[in-house]
Amino acid sequence: MLKELKQLSHSTRLENPYWRYDVDVYEKPNGSTGEYHYVHTPGSVMIVPRLEDGRFVLTKQYRYLNRRISVEFPGGGLPEGAEPLAQAAKELHEETGLQAASLRPIGQFCPFNGVTDEMCHVFLAEGLSVHEIPATPDESEEFEHVVLSESELVACMRSGELFDGMSLAAWQLYCVFR
């Protein structure tokens, strides 16, 4: 039977508005102690926006760490204390200018098991319409919107234009859900 690893102490080494760098001292399965370094976040949300004609709304944005343009589903961080459903609606509007008549949870996943404790909540957005208030991206964000059929979306994955792991996981959950 697998042992639950016991936390002996906890400290935060660095903190910003988006995540914390934490270090725990813990008891290893063999009884010795070790340090576990990880990123803590309250979580995140991803939205798979599907239009009535079956096409999907995605964003294009420049990803600084990869030094390239990325095609992605809309999504973002989950602030401390925020409800995933409300944050998904907020991110959908912020990144696409859309609102959804239906926003249904289709699953969740850990984006980088072993490095972060983050859980990403994925929603299917349907009944899309333009929000009466224009999209309001964060000051660090700039988006272009793309509307893709399923085959075009898969082609973006094959070509490497869609390389974001969280979008790939959200797509897999959508494929299982449908």
For 145-173, the DSSP string reads EEEE-HHHHHHHHHHTS---HHHHHHHHH
Of the chain, the percentage scoring pLDDT greater than 90 comes to 89
Residue range(s) of every CATH 3.90.79.10 domain in the chain: 44-177
Q: Comparing C-alpha atoms, which of 136, 142, 162 is closest to residue 151?
A: 162
Please pick, among 4, 139, 142, 144, the residue that the annotation labels catalytic.
139
- What is the overall mean pLDDT for the chain? 94
Q: 44-177 maps to which CATH number? A: 3.90.79.10
Higher pLDDT among residues 155 and 138, named by residue: 155
What average pLDDT does range 140-161 have in this prediction? Answer: 94
What average pLDDT does range 146-150 have in this prediction? Answer: 97
What is the reported pLDDT for 18?
87
124, pLDDT greater than 90: yes
114, pLDDT greater than 80: yes
Of the chain, the percentage scoring pLDDT greater than 70 comes to 100
CA separation for the pair 45, 108 (Å, rounded):
9
Split at pLDDT 50, 70, 90, the class of 136 is confident
Is the backbone of residue 144 left (phi > 0), alpha (psi -120 to 50) or beta?
A: beta
32-79: pLDDT as tens digits: 999 999 999 999 999 999 999 999 999 999 999 999 999 999 999 999
27, pLDDT greater than 90: yes
pTM over 0.85: yes
- Residue 139 bears catalytic tag: yes
